[in-house]
């Protein structure tokens, strides 16, 4: 094992926010280097994904929410998020070796002692190893399993400039979608989605009504919806959906990033008469419902990456000490694509 420091940096919850997190919601501290147990590996983190959805687990009452796949955070707890790291110490007889790249959920720290069962080995055979931190596999699982997207269909992807949407539009195209429509918050982001990521059209929040924009972008209607927002955008999708369209909900940003509250409620009023007449299907989905898709995605990623058919829109923040301000910015919608913190 290489010579290791005696301490490292990790990020802890400093206070429970009353609304959106600010930079002083979390603090970066020096802590003793973790000592792995017999069933753990020591990992030096290379980068981790910064997701605004962590806000849901910071507020009061998070421990009372059932079904959320993230652990609630108490003051003093170290934050967690998906990370890419290099194994530097392993127990005897384990399949992992020093130098292996792994994905795990112990981000927001420089080093982590990770249970071996929580490590997923990933390949270095990609154009950029940071691609492993994209939400591509979430988007891929949602499109192929949750929506069963068919070639020739029209798909609407809300929050298209977000971590999932910025990958989902590209993947939908590669899967054969004939028309890919997105939504975002600004005209600048909309222009980038069309110019850089191959979206055919993008509706923008705060301009004219989303439903009228969506009807113009999809005059023949929408076959499939990948929704990360809820609110007005989900209502618009129901309005423009064709008969027997499928709507898959993978997020609720209208509530998660609301300025007030805990981010754990996203009420919306839908016209159930339209649901009935159009015979629409609406369901919630997590990529964790289909864990076997991860290996399939890794193979597709290697192939598409080698062919130059897919890119990873991300903004990289350098250094853990800059992560608190980046979290506040991400919750304000300041970034395009996935936000990564490189260590």
Per-residue pLDDT for 256 more than 90?
A: no
Both 200 and 327 in a single domain? no
25-39, 122-136, 138-152: the lowest-pLDDT one: 122-136
Both 186 and 276 in a single domain? yes
The structure's pTM equals: 0.88
In order, the DSSP letters of 214-262 are: HHHH-TT-EEEEEES--HHHHHHHHHHEEEEEEEEE---HHHHT-SBS-
Both 69 and 140 in a single domain? no
Residue 225 in domain: yes
Looking at the structure of the chain, the number of domains it has is 2
Both 157 and 284 in a single domain? yes
Residue 102 in domain: yes
Residue 115 in domain: yes
Joined together, the tokens standing for residue 13 give 């919850």
> What's the chain's Rg over C-alpha atoms?
20
Return the top range by mean pLDDT from 56-60, 95-99, 321-325. Answer: 321-325
**What is d(CA 299, CA 303) in angstroms, rounded to the nearest whole number?**
6
In 3D space, the residue among 48, 124, 14, 73 whose CA is nearest the CA of residue 330 turns out to be 48
Joined together, the tokens standing for residue 62 give 């998070």
Both 232 and 327 in a single domain? no
**What is d(CA 199, CA 177) in angstroms, rounded to the nearest whole number?**
11
CATH number at residue 279: 3.40.50.720
Residue 124 in domain: yes
Range of the domain at 121: 7-134+312-342
Both 203 and 156 in a single domain? yes
CATH number at residue 62: 3.90.180.10
Residue 41 in domain: yes
Task: Write the pLDDT tens digit of every residue in 303-322.
Answer: 998 898 998 999 999 999 99
Residue 307 in domain: no
**What is d(CA 123, CA 236) in angstroms, rounded to the nearest whole number?**
40
Both 281 and 141 in a single domain? yes
User: Helix, strand, coil: what percent of the chain each, to 5?
Assistant: 30, 25, 40
pLDDT band at 260 (very low <50, low <70, confident <90, very high): confident
Contacts of 124-130 spanning 24+ positions with Cβ under 8 A: 125/302, 126/301, 126/302, 126/305, 127/305, 127/306, 127/308, 128/305, 128/312, 129/46, 129/84, 129/101, 130/47, 130/84, 130/312, 130/314, 130/316, 130/340, 130/342
């Amino acid at each position: 094992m290489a010579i290791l420091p005696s301490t490292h940096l990790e990020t802890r919850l400093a206070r429970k926010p009353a609304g959106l997190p600010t930079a002083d919601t979390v603090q970066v501290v020096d802590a003793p280097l973790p000592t792995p147990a017999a069933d753990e590996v020591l990992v030096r983190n290379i980068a981790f994904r910064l997701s605004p959805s962590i806000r849901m687990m910071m507020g009061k009452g998070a421990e009372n929410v059932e079904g959320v796949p993230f652990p609630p955070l108490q003051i003093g707890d170290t934050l967690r998020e998906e990370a890419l790291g290099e194994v530097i110490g392993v127990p005897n007889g384990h399949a992992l070796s020093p130098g292996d790249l792994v994905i795990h959920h112990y981000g927001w720290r420089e080093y982590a002692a990770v249970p071996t069962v929580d490590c997923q080995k990933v390949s270095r055979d990609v154009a950029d190893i940071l691609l492993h931190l994209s939400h591509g596999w979430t988007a891929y699982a949602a499109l192929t399993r949750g929506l069963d997207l068919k070639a020739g269909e029209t798909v609407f992807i809300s929050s298209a400039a977000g971590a999932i949407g910025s990958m989902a539009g590209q993947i939908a195209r590669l899967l054969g979608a004939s028309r890919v429509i997105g939504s975002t918050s600004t005209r600048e982001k909309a222009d980038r989605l069309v110019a850089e990521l191959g979206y055919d059209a993008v509706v923008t929040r705060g301009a004219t009504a989303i439903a009228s924009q969506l009807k113009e972008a999809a005059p023949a209607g929408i076959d499939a919806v990948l929704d990360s927002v809820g609110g007005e955008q989900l209502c618009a999708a129901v309005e423009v959906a064709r008969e027997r369209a499928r709507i898959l909900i993978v997020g609720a940003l209208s509530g998660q990033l609301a300025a007030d509250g805990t981010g754990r409620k996203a009420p919306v009023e839908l016209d159930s008469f339209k649901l009935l007449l159009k015979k629409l299907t609406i369901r919630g989905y997590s990529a964790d419902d289909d864990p076997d898709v991860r290996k399939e995605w890794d193979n597709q990623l290697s192939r598409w990456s080698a062919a130059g058919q897919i890119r990873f829109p991300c903004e990289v923040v350098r250094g853990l000490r800059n992560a608190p301000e980046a979290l506040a910015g991400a919750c304000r919608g300041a970034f395009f694509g996935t936000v990564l913190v490189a260590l």
